[in-house]
Chain A
Amino acid sequence: MVTDPLVLQLAAELFPNGISRYAVGGLLVGLGAVVIYIGTGIPAGASTFLESTLSYVSDRSRFQRYVGSRDWRVVFTLGIILGAAVFAATVQSGVIATSLYEPGTTGQTYELAGITLWLTEVQPWRLFLGGILVGIGTRIGKGCTSGHGVCGVGSASKTSIVGVATFLLVAIGTAQLVAALGVSP
């Protein structure tokens, strides 16, 4: 077998954790959206859950627009949480081993009732402040990484492509700046 060593070296630098876990995970994320679309015609995004769930506790007109969809959005979100929990109980815990999955070394793991769980080491203030900006931005910008990024880009929507390009470039600039300031993790 002849493999160009330059290609291998480049792949090792750009993809230090390989590509299979990313590609397989991405296909499953897309498949989840497709299952919902085929059955219901709904191109599902994850961020509207924030506003639609607030309609249970706030009478504000902005939230009340989502009363019709808030129940299924809760179901969708519970599905996402449980799906990730199934991943934790199987692949993350090593119960199911596959060569397509690279465990990785980020964060730290802990055991609970025989299940391997995972904790981030990113500082709480970053998560909290970032969360606030994500909450504001995705609502003003009409979508997030799943609404714009998966369903919108999949729809070849110009609005979504511009939206994704905008948040991707700004996020890269922000992450580089924060790292340059010495904030880690």
Chain B
Amino acid sequence: MSDDRHPLFKPLIFVGGLIFGFGLGFSHMARPEVVLNFLQFEDFGLLFVMFGAAVVSGIAFAVMPRIRDTAPLTGDLYERRLKSFDRNVLIGGAIFGVGWGLSGICPGAAYASLGTGNITILWALAGMFIGAYAQGYWRSRTAETGSTATRAD
């Protein structure tokens, strides 16, 4: 992907982010306490956030490829979000789960939490960047020192 995209590309991404963030605030998923209450079985409402969002996006993923081939602002094909399965999905998922269960915070909800005025969430955001950097640093190193130094995952 290059930078010579449609002039409306970034404005549209911004509008999508606005709706996404408003929804995270409205649903209270941007509040760590509410996520922790859900994980402790005290309030199952969060199921409606996760599955409600997945159903809405699922309709678009199913319908759009039948209506047209490519997206108007990028020319990219309408495809589903499919990632290859390997052991990393389980290992990474488990590490993410420990972090989510300890803090009640995930990336999108953390950005939204900042927007609701929760400056204490900067602790979580700092942690996320440190974790992502440590992981990327380690992966770059193993890729460079490995005998088959491929950059593909």
**A118 adjacent to B48 (CB under 8 Å):** no
A118's partner among B10, B58, B109, B117 (CB-CB below 8 A) is B117
**A129 adjacent to B27 (CB under 8 Å):** no
The answer to whether residues A41 and B74 also contact, given A22-B46, A128-B123 and a CB cut-off of 8 A, is yes
Chain B binding surface, main DSSP class: helix
The answer to whether residues A128 and B96 also contact, given A15-B43, A17-B45, A40-B13 and a CB cut-off of 8 A, is no
Specify which chain B residues have a CB less than 8 angstroms from the CB of A136 in the assembled complex.
92, 95-96, 99, 131-132, 134-135
**A35 adjacent to B16 (CB under 8 Å):** yes
**B100 adjacent to A167 (CB under 8 Å):** yes
Specify which chain A residues have a CB less than 8 angstroms from the CB of B27 in the assembled complex.
21-22, 24-26, 28-29
B92's partner among A91, A128, A141, A178 (CB-CB below 8 A) is A141
Quote the shortest CB–CB distance from A56 to chain B (angstroms). 12
CB-nearest residue of chain A relative to B142? Answer: A62
Q: Please give the residue numbers on chain A whose beta carbons come within 8 Å of chain B beta carbons, in ascending order.
A: 14-19, 21-47, 49-51, 53-54, 58, 60-63, 65, 68-69, 71-72, 75-88, 91-92, 101, 104, 106-107, 110, 112, 115-122, 124-147, 149-160, 162-164, 166-179, 185
Q: Please give the residue numbers on chain B whose beta carbons come within 8 Å of chain A beta carbons, in ascending order.
A: 1-3, 8-10, 12-34, 36-37, 39-61, 64, 70-74, 76-85, 88-121, 123-137, 139-140, 143-144, 151
Query: Can you list 13 A-B contacts (CB < 8 A)?
Result: A17-B45, A37-B64, A39-B74, A76-B13, A76-B14, A84-B25, A128-B124, A134-B103, A138-B96, A142-B92, A162-B89, A163-B90, A170-B98
